[in-house]
A and B are shown apart, each in its own frame.
Chain A
């Protein structure tokens, strides 16, 4: 019996030592002690963003492309029509189809778009108008895939930016049809503005042909419009980016609506320098894109090719020769801008624009202050409890202190193993755990005192005390765990951090206060007949 007990205590102490060793051991070679404990953003400094993906962007783009494809198809089939455009509200309206081509048009539309669109038609003045409304299921799946793509792109960008332990997570009301928000947490990042530039930039690269005649550049939209007397079917007017605008009146170009290649055809991009030694970005194409690019450049030698980034023209070099798989983007870049752009192009374009709807940034110095005051409060609180317990319960109080220490160690070890972060409310959770742990000990001690008073022997009092209080402790812990579970499930950021530490602490306490403490008392008795208990 006594031998058994010794082993039990030794095993528990060994477990504690192992936990301590694990907690303080450096995670990597050069990392300091305690590097395994993840600090939350509020303690180490960093940025927390909630980003809304404007999925309508991607939908509109898809609608635009389909509208353009319809007009291309009709033209190649010699169906006469007036226009094919995207309307406001997820539909394409194809107007003024001649009665001669009506049936053929209907077949084409049914064939190509019947799956994703609902097709209605109406006849006015001998011509037919078609309306293609995108199906709700299609809208939904487009939205979902847009958010998924945005998330992947963001992850690549954040990784390329070199943020360790960045956390990305889908978020949003579960009641809505699609979760379209993304939480981005970047610990240790100290320059929010730069990060946001990198995150928010859609980086849609397109190479588009400039209109052969009267393509510009023009000083104003009106001039561009008048020069082409309003004939814009396949073309549109794009403005220059701010950098490219400097040093000349040239502001607008008339370019084709469709692009030769886009960012999707890119293999990679890297910062380089142009012929004058100024910073620039070189890009390399995948084999499919290279083929397209080669054909286009061969056919259009002498024309200008606009390099368009997020609907802004950066430059429009003349095509002097057939190019296959490599190109360069120039424009007055700073070195940093060239670095950032090549990062963005390499990691891919965002399928839609993003809006930051919640942003928290904690400076490293503020985090430092918080750690200091949080830890200080914790140590003082712990110290007060230790003194109070030992004064009031004497030798048994020492047992309680051992249990508290064990509790803290197991809690921290559990959090470290599961990679949970310690946050400021988390420290508060630890303090609350100390409170609950002390409560369990007090409950037991008071019960033992009662049993002693009723005349039981020391050993019997201890055993009944632990036995009777077990269910009280069980009930209080389960109730608090239920509350913690709801906090974790429905709470956000800080509330979750609190729930996590509380949960680990309570579970550890069930073990230390009930089992470990009982063994400590048994050890105190040491198998002898004891007349008096220091409690």
Chain B
């Protein structure tokens, strides 16, 4: 199968159209940027706390918001997370609690407030929350209680330890893997392999099942945030410089400049779209942006490489024709590669889950823009740079 056999399109004559398209996209992004008052940065860069919780029934987001608001300096951002059926909520508190308060203390205070609202019966309970307990606590509890009476049977302490460690591990696996982190009632634990009725009874004396579980959390101090921001900026600038130098060395300086301008164009449009859709710029998104940089560079190099080769073969052609020829010759490859990569990134966007969403979004946009810019931006710049070549006399224009 071949889609583009031998095309001959005069790409460079369309440069004003390309310029118009790019300007339009840039203006849209810029408008989004100003309308939203800047970009939304992840807590990696601003400092703050994210708590990811799973509830046993559909959580009332407004209630969470109301109960937490008085506790924080800036209003907390409460969002549903992942598929609605999972009952997961992400609480985001920009710029940590109080300047002085420990990250940990602040987070625990938040959780205490939520417990009061969503678990009023269990506040002040002497029992521990099974849904938020660690393996070690379970294990220690079981060993002390010894529900299956191993000590009375005269078993050695090593054997007892091994026995209850396995049960504790099974309990935890049941909670985290089979039940996705939240067990509705202690009595459900009788399904767990190795757990006897006596064990369930003993667990009921020591634990309750809270109505929500903390599945993960991130807290970043403001200082660390600034540090991460600086490092990310540094990484971007240095990788730009590195690639500029390499391309300048392997090809010509003008090519390097053209490729880097195309990169900046791609980044600006992608970031603009992040502003427009109000998506968060996190550390992983920065990784995606850098991938996009590599990818866009890749595209430009393939075209330039062909230009370099054609210049050697057909010296007498005008520069613009050589550029057009090179784009046309590589066009089939460009479309196929973009199409294939687009497929795999699209799979990432659709099936990769919530955590990778920003990452896949940046790449999906980036692949389209990056492919377009190598033809629509980088090559016209090279053409403009070498336009003088056409003014030279004594040359046939075929």
Interface residues of A (CB under 8 A from B): 42, 45, 50, 173, 189-191, 193-194, 196, 335-336, 355-366, 368-370, 372-374, 376-378, 380-382, 384-385, 388-389, 391-394, 424-425, 428, 431-432, 434-436, 438-439, 442-443, 446-447, 449-450, 453, 468, 471-472, 475-476, 478-480, 482-487, 489-495, 498-499, 502
Lowest 9 CB-CB distances: which A-B pairs, in order? A191-B134, A373-B353, A381-B344, A435-B341, A381-B347, A365-B181, A357-B221, A365-B176, A490-B235
Residues of B within 8 A of A446 (CB): 330, 332-333, 336
Per-residue CB contact flags for chain B residues 320-346 toward chain A (1 = under 8 Å, else 0) read 000000000110110011011101111
- The answer to whether B347 and A479 have CB atoms under 8 Å apart is no
15 A-B residue pairs with CB within 8 Å: A190-B135, A357-B221, A359-B217, A365-B54, A373-B351, A425-B287, A428-B348, A431-B347, A432-B341, A447-B333, A475-B247, A483-B239, A490-B231, A490-B232, A490-B234
Main secondary structure of the interface of A (DSSP, over half): helix
Known: A191-B134, A428-B284, A479-B298; 10 extra A-B contacts, CB below 8 A, are A357-B223, A358-B224, A359-B104, A364-B177, A373-B351, A384-B344, A428-B360, A471-B305, A480-B294, A483-B243
Residues of A within 8 A of B368 (CB): none
- The answer to whether A357 and B103 have CB atoms under 8 Å apart is yes
Report Cα–Cα, A144/B133, bound state, in Å: 37
Per-residue CB contact flags for chain B residues 205-216 toward chain A (1 = under 8 Å, else 0) read 000000001111
Determine whether B227 belongs to the interface, using a CB cutoff of 8 Å to chain A: yes
Residues of B within 8 A of A359 (CB): 103-104, 217-220
User: CB < 8 Å: which of A394, A436, A438, A494 contacts B287?
Assistant: A494
Q: With A190-B172, A363-B214, A490-B238 as given contacts, are A442 and B337 in contact (CB-CB < 8 Å)?
A: yes
- The answer to whether B347 and A363 have CB atoms under 8 Å apart is no
Report Cα–Cα, A394/B1, bound state, in Å: 8
Determine whether B397 belongs to the interface, using a CB cutoff of 8 Å to chain A: no
User: CB < 8 Å: which of B2, B140, B291, B355 contacts A449?
Assistant: B2
Per-residue CB contact flags for chain B residues 230-244 toward chain A (1 = under 8 Å, else 0) read 011011001100110
Residue of B2, B103, B298 ringed by the most chain A CB atoms within 10 A: B298
Give, as a whole number of angstroms, the nearest-CB distance from B131 to chain A.
10
- The answer to whether A425 and B359 have CB atoms under 8 Å apart is yes
User: CB < 8 Å: which of B223, B235, B293, B359 contacts A491?
Assistant: B235
- The answer to whether B218 and A482 have CB atoms under 8 Å apart is no
Give, as a whole number of angstroms, the nearest-CB distance from B122 to chain A.
18
User: CB < 8 Å: which of B1, B217, B221 contacts A392?
Assistant: B1
Residue of B144, B290, B306 ringed by the most chain A CB atoms within 10 A: B290
Report Cα–Cα, A453/B4, bound state, in Å: 13
- The answer to whether B246 and A478 have CB atoms under 8 Å apart is yes
User: CB < 8 Å: which of A358, A381, A431, A476 contacts B302?
Assistant: A476
Report Cα–Cα, A493/B286, bound state, in Å: 12
User: CB < 8 Å: which of B135, B215, B216, B220 contacts A358?
Assistant: B220
Determine whether B102 belongs to the interface, using a CB cutoff of 8 Å to chain A: yes
Residues of B within 8 A of A393 (CB): 1
Determine whether B195 belongs to the interface, using a CB cutoff of 8 Å to chain A: no
User: CB < 8 Å: which of B220, B341, B353, B356 contacts A439?
Assistant: B341
Q: With A360-B217, A435-B341, A495-B235 as given contacts, are A191 and B287 in contact (CB-CB < 8 Å)?
A: no
- The answer to whether A443 and B144 have CB atoms under 8 Å apart is no
Residue of A336, A355, A359 ringed by the most chain B CB atoms within 10 A: A359
- The answer to whether A479 and B246 have CB atoms under 8 Å apart is yes
Give, as a whole number of angstroms, the nearest-CB distance from A259 to chain B.
28
- The answer to whether A365 and B180 have CB atoms under 8 Å apart is yes
- The answer to whether B223 and A435 have CB atoms under 8 Å apart is no
Per-residue CB contact flags for chain B residues 1-35 toward chain A (1 = under 8 Å, else 0) read 11000100000000000000000000000000000
- The answer to whether A450 and B329 have CB atoms under 8 Å apart is yes
- The answer to whether A191 and B135 have CB atoms under 8 Å apart is yes
Report Cα–Cα, A394/B250, bound state, in Å: 34
Per-residue CB contact flags for chain B residues 29-66 toward chain A (1 = under 8 Å, else 0) read 00000000000000000000000101000000000000
Report Cα–Cα, A366/B52, bound state, in Å: 9
Residues of B within 8 A of A450 (CB): 329
- The answer to whether A431 and B339 have CB atoms under 8 Å apart is no
Determine whether B297 belongs to the interface, using a CB cutoff of 8 Å to chain A: yes
User: CB < 8 Å: which of A361, A363, A453, A478 contacts B6?
Assistant: A453
Q: With A191-B134, A431-B344, A483-B243 as given contacts, are A356 and B298 in contact (CB-CB < 8 Å)?
A: no
